[in-house]
Amino acid sequence: MTKRNLKAEDLYQLKSVADPRLSSNGRDLVYVQTHISEEKDEYVSNLFYINVEDKNTPQQWTYGEHRNHSPRWSPAQDELAFVSNRSGKNQIFVMKASGGEAKQVTTCTNGASNPVWSPDGKKIAFNVSLAEDEAIETKDKKEEKKLVPLEVDKMKYKSDASGFWDGKYSQIAIVDLETGETNLITEGKVDYHLQGWSPDGKHLAVSADLSENLDFSFVSDVFLLELETKKLEKITTGSGYFGSVTWSPNGRYIGLIGHEREFENATLSKVWVYDTVQKELNCLTAESDLLIGDFAIGDFQQGAVTPGILWTEDNESFYFLASDHGNTAVYYGSLKGEMYPALLESQHVYGLTTGGALNRAVVAISKPTDPGELYLLDVPTGKLEALTSVNKSYKDEVKLADVEEIEFKAKDGWDLHGWMMKPANFEEGKKYPLILEIHGGPHAMYANTYFQEFQMLAAEGYAVLFINPRGSHGYGQKFVDAVRGDYGGRDYADLMEAVDYALETFDFIDENRLGVTGGSYGGFMTNWIVGHTNRFKAAVTQRSISNWISFYGVSDIGYYFNAWQIKSELEDVETMWKHSPLAYVGNVETPLLILHSEKDYRCPIEQAEQLFIALKHRKKETKFVRFPESNHELSRSGKPSLRIARLNYILNWFKEYIK
C-alpha cells in the first residue's frame, strides 16, 4: 500500500499513551491514553489496563469525553485512585480493580489533585488550592464570577501555567475513605506540594519554600510532616531545588532529585538519598556529569510524567530516567554507588514504572518515526516487548521521515551533536530546501523523539536540521552553562556552523533555499539570526524574546531570568540591549512571520508587538499572528485547532518565500 504524506490535521488521528503504573504484583498495568475530540476541539483522556504477563488486549477502564488521569494503585492493588474532571472540576475518584462504577471521594471547592494512598489503604492525601479562610468543601451553588480589581503587592503575581495569582495557596488534605471526612493538614501563606506517604504511615513528605520573602527566594526544600503533631522536619539544604520524593519499601531511605543551584537554572539535577536513621543527606551522583530526568523536547505527548527514584524490593537498588546525548535512558543505581544504564538506545523514554521489581519495568518510548507506545522491559537482557499499538494504523497509513544523527566540531573545538531529517519522499540527485529548527529553554534537549512539526515539514519536501547548541542539556554541566551571559555569541555560532556542516556534508541541500524557525529561546535566536545574517530566505519566530529590557518587567520570570541568563540587572541596560534582537532590527532583510499567544506570560506578547512594529516601521516584510486564549505552551498542549493553525502558518510562510 502506498503511504500518503502527513499533514498538520493528522494530530486528530494520533493517540498519546503516558504515565504507566505497574502494580507491585508485577502484573497489572494501568496507563493514560489521550486523543483529541475534533468535534469538541478538546483533549480526552481515559484509563486503560493491561495484564503484562498475558499481554492481553488493553481494556478500557474509564469512558466519556473527559480528562481522566493520574492513576494510583492502592497498597493492596485492588483499587485505583485517579483524577477526573467529569463533575466539572478535577476531583479524586476511586474504582475497584475488579470493575464497577468509580466513586467520587472529594468535593473540594477548587478541585483536587495528586492522590497519594496511605499505607493501610484507608485514606488518600492530595493537594488542594485554597485562599485563606476558604472552606475546603462547599455545597453551595456556583455563583457567577464578578469582575473585580486585581491587587498586586508581590513580584511573583503571575505564572504562564496558571495566569494571575488569585490569592490561593496549594495545601495538603486527607480524605478518609470509610467516613468520607476530609481534613486539611497544612495551612498558611505557603504552597505545600505533596510528595509521598511514609511506609509506617506516620509522615508525609512535602516540598515547600518557607522563606520570608518569596519574591527573592528560589528554593524548594523537602520536609517530613509528622501527621500526629504537624511538626515539619527539613531534610534538604535550604539552598537548592528538590522534589520527586520516593520512599524505600522499608522506610529507611528517601530518594530525591534536585540540585543546589550552583549554576542557577542551568544546574544539573542529581540523585540524592536521605537516611532517616543517620539523619544524613547524600548526593549519589555528585561526581557525575549525568543529567537526571527527562529533558527531551517534543510537541506531541500529553500527560507524560517523569518518575523519581523507583526503589526495588531490596531497599538498596533503584531505577531512574536520565537525559544523555540526545536520548533519555533508564538507569540503575544503588546505595553502594553503582550507576549504569539499563536501557540506553537511540530513543526517548518518557515514562517508567517498575512496581518495585528489580528485573522488570514498563517503559513509554518514542522515536522520530514513532509517536509513542508502551513496552515491557526485561532488565537483565534489555529485551523489549510491545504492550500497545495505539498508533499502528497511523504509521501504516502515513509516510514518516527518519533522521540521521550528525556529530561535528565547532570552530573552537567543542563537540556538537544533532540530526538531519531528509524529506519524506526523498529522491537521490534532487536538491531540497532546508529548515533549521531551534529549541527553547535554552536548557532543554532535542532528542530521538517524535516531532509533528518536523514531520510535517519533511512531508512537504523540506529537509530539517536540528542540533543541541551549547546551553542545551544532555552533554554535561560545562556545556549547559556555556550560554549564560553569552546569548547570541557562541550559541549563534554553533547554529551557523551546523548549517555550514550540513551544506558541506549533504549534497541534496540547496544553499539558496534555507529557512529558520524556533520558539521561546529558539524564537529569540531566530530574531537574532535574521538581524545578523541574510543567508535565510524566510524565518518564523514563535513565542519569542526581542527586548531584554522590557522582558525584565513583563515576564513571569523576567526579573531573575535576566540576572541568571543574561547576567545583567536593570542598572545595566547597555548589556541587556546588546543582547536584544530588537537592537538589530534595521539589519533584517529576511521575511519574518511572528507567531505569539495572547496569554503568554513567559514571553509576553508585547515582545512580538515591539518586533512587529519596528519591522513594519522600517518597511520590512513581516506578518504578525496572535493566537487567542493561549499561553506559552500552545505548540504542545494548546487548543488543538490552534495548534493545527500554527503548523499551517509555519508551512505556508516557508512555501511562500522559499521557492
Cβ atoms of residues 497 and 407 within 8 Å: no
User: Whole-number mean pLDDT of the chain?
Assistant: 96
What does the alpha-carbon distance between residue 44 and residue 65 come to, in Å, rounded to a whole number?
Answer: 6
Provide the pLDDT for residue 182: 97
Q: Which residue has the cell 503504573?
A: 21
Specify whether 441 is located in the same domain as 451: yes
Cβ atoms of residues 258 and 242 within 8 Å: yes
Last residue of a domain, one of 365, 398, 431: 398
Residue 114, in any domain of the structure: no
Cβ atoms of residues 127 and 194 within 8 Å: yes
Q: Which active-site residues does the annotation give?
A: 520, 632
Specify whether 237 is located in the same domain as 366: no
Specify whether 403 is located in the same domain as 316: no
pLDDT at residue 268 is higher than 80: yes
Which 8-state DSSP code applies to residue 369? Answer: T
Which 8-state DSSP code applies to residue 445? Answer: B
Provide the pLDDT for residue 78: 95
Residue 354, in any domain of the structure: yes
Cβ atoms of residues 235 and 214 within 8 Å: no
Domain that holds residue 625: 399-657
Residue 636, in any domain of the structure: yes
Residue 140: pLDDT band by 50, 70, 90 thresholds? low
Q: Which residue has the cell 545574517?
A: 533
What are the tens digits of pLDDT across the range 518-560?
A: 999 999 999 999 999 999 999 999 999 999 999 999 999 999 9
Residue 33, in any domain of the structure: no
Residue 231, in any domain of the structure: yes
What residues contact residue 231 under an 8 Å CB cut-off, 6+ apart?
225
Specify whether 368 is located in the same domain as 415: no
Specify whether 504 is located in the same domain as 616: yes
Residue 506, in any domain of the structure: yes
Specify whether 383 is located in the same domain as 426: no
Residue 182, in any domain of the structure: no
What does the alpha-carbon distance between residue 494 and residue 491 come to, in Å, rounded to a whole number?
Answer: 5
Specify whether 375 is located in the same domain as 444: no
Please report, for the domain that includes residue 527, its CATH number: 3.40.50.1820
pLDDT at residue 1 is higher than 90: no
Domain count, the chain: 3
What are the tens digits of pLDDT across the range 466-518?
A: 999 999 999 999 999 999 999 999 999 999 999 999 999 999 999 999 999 99
What does the alpha-carbon distance between residue 482 and residue 642 come to, in Å, rounded to a whole number?
Answer: 35
pLDDT at residue 351 is higher than 90: yes
H helices of 533-639, in order, are 548-554, 558-561, 573-578, 606-617, 634-637
Point out the least confidently predicted range of 61-65, 145-149, 457-461: 145-149
Provide the pLDDT for residue 497: 98
Specify whether 411 is located in the same domain as 369: no
Specify whether 560 is located in the same domain as 498: yes
pLDDT at residue 303 is higher than 80: yes
Angle at 214 between CA 208 and CA 216, to 5 degrees: 125
State which amino acid sits at residue 253: Y
Specify whether 329 is located in the same domain as 371: yes
Specify whether 260 is located in the same domain as 390: no
Residue 99: pLDDT band by 50, 70, 90 thresholds? confident
Share of the chain above pLDDT 70, in %: 99
Last residue of a domain, one of 398, 425, 456: 398
Annotate 218-244 with b (16+ C-beta within 10 A) or e (fewer): bbbbbbbbebeeeebeebbeeebbbbb
For the chain, the 3-state helix, strand and coil shares in percent, each to the nearest 5, are 20, 35, 45
Residue 107, in any domain of the structure: no
Last residue of a domain, one of 237, 261, 289: 289
Residues 99, 100, 105, 110, CA torsion sign: positive
Specify whether 501 is located in the same domain as 648: yes
Residue 142: pLDDT band by 50, 70, 90 thresholds? low
What are the tens digits of pLDDT across the range 229-254?
A: 999 999 999 999 999 999 999 999 99
pTM for this model (two decimals):
0.96
What does the alpha-carbon distance between residue 108 and residue 182 come to, in Å, rounded to a whole number?
Answer: 9
